[in-house]
């Protein structure tokens, strides 16, 4: 049984999608979303299109959605499995937040990596010790994994 809240959020996402983000529910499971997120302008991820998956647990909105990157990305707060270190996906979750808020927060994280709260320690160390090189690697990974050739 799908909660009314999920139906309303899904409708709002399709009617008024967040800028640079599309979130489409799976045709077989309305709790599972296919997400495409454009890398934010001015970030090392600019020009990239990143695939993510978002899943709403049975007890949503009392528990946060689980979200992960399917596209490889070089970022101190995203590990090799695509898991994301973001406070609202953990202890700062509130039922007042919505899918839209979560996706916009992840997009903002791409613009402002936080190497002081890392999920990928090697990337965070690079970001802290040689930010210029870390940004260069992030841009290179974006070109390699997140840019679709026409």
Q: What is the pLDDT of residues 21-61, one digit of tens each?
A: 999 999 999 999 999 999 999 999 999 999 999 999 999 99
Q: Enter the tokens of residue 97.
A: 């937040």
Domains of the chain by residue range: 4-146
Question: Residue 48, Cβ neighbours under 10 Å: how many?
Answer: 24
Q: Please report the pLDDT score of residue 148 as a whole number.
A: 76
**Is residue 150 pLDDT above 90, yes or no?**
no
What predicted TM-score, i.e. pTM, was given to this entire model? 0.94
pLDDT of residue 66: 97
Q: CA of 148: how far to CAs of 3, 49, 72, 140, in Å?
A: 36, 8, 13, 14
The residues annotated with a catalytic role in the active site are: 85
Average pLDDT over residues 114-127: 96
Q: What CATH class does 4-146 carry?
A: alpha beta
């Amino acid at each position: 049984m799908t909660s009314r809240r999920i139906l309303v959020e899904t409708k709002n996402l399709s009617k008024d999608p967040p800028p640079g983000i599309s979130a489409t529910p799976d045709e077989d499971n309305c709790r599972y979303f296919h997400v495409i997120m454009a890398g934010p302008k001015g970030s090392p991820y600019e020009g990239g299109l990143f695939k993510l998956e978002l899943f709403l647990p049975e007890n949503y909105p009392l528990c946060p959605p689980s979200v992960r990157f399917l596209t490889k990305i070089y970022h101190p707060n995203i590990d090799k499995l695509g898991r994301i270190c973001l406070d609202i996906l953990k202890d700062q979750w509130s039922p007042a937040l919505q899918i839209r808020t979560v996706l916009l927060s992840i997009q903002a994280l791409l613009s402002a990596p936080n190497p002081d709260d890392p999920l990928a320690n090697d990337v965070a160390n690079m970001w802290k010790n040689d930010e210029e090189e870390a940004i260069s690697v992030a841009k290179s990974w974006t070109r390699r994994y997140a840019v679709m050739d026409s």
